[in-house]
Structure formats: structure tokens, C-alpha cells
Amino acid sequence: MLLPATSKKDIIYVKEVNQGMTVELRPGESQESLLKRFRKDVMKSGVLSIYRRKRWYVSKSEERRKRRAKAIRKARRKQAKEHARSKRQ
């Protein structure tokens, strides 16, 4: 479970609370649908993405570099999309 902690500018810092995911079997529910609900809850909670992100240590400067590169790619895609749209008209 994630709880919002403090926020600075556009970055939201999140404090993690380590709790296990539980899903109870409903009467007449199959094992497949139980697994499907469990996977859905895990995806909603974002546990896997947090785990993947924290698997390796990434320095602050590396995070900034990656964020900047991601913003540049996003801006280029947006510009290319607008350019293509203006050509059609």
C-alpha cells in the first residue's frame, strides 16, 4: 500500500507501507477468476512497478538525466505529431 508523504514542486514523494496482498475466494468462484482478481489488484496497487524500479540503486543525477531524456523524447514525439497533423490540413 502506498501513502502520499511530502511533495516538492512537481515530484511527489511516496512512503511505502509493506503489506501483503490478499484476495479471498468468493462462494462459487473458480481458481482462475480468483487469480485474475489478484493480478488486477496487484497491478492497481503498483507493487510490481515499485519493485522493478527499486531493484537497482540509481543515483539522483542518473534519475535527473533519465527524466530529462524522457521529456526530450516526449517533446519530439509531440512536435512530430503536430507537424504531421499540419501537413494533412
Average pLDDT, the chain: 81
Per the structure, the complete domain to which residue 68 belongs is given by 59-89
Q: Output the nine-digit C-alpha cell for 32.
A: 482462475
Together in a domain, 51 and 22: yes
The number of domains in the chain is 2
**pLDDT given at position 16:** 52
- The more confident residue out of 9 and 52 is 52
Together in a domain, 27 and 64: no
Burial 19-28 (b: 16+ CB within 10 A, else e): eeeeeeeeee
Percent of the chain with pLDDT over 90: 38
Together in a domain, 64 and 52: no
Together in a domain, 7 and 48: yes
User: Over the stretch 36-69, which tens digit does the pLDDT of each residue have?
Assistant: 999 998 899 888 888 888 889 999 999 999 999 9
Together in a domain, 48 and 12: yes
Cα separations (Å) of 80 from 18, 72, 86, 87?
43, 12, 10, 11
Q: Output the nine-digit C-alpha cell for 26.
A: 468468493
Together in a domain, 36 and 5: yes
Q: Cell 482462475 sits at which residue?
A: 32
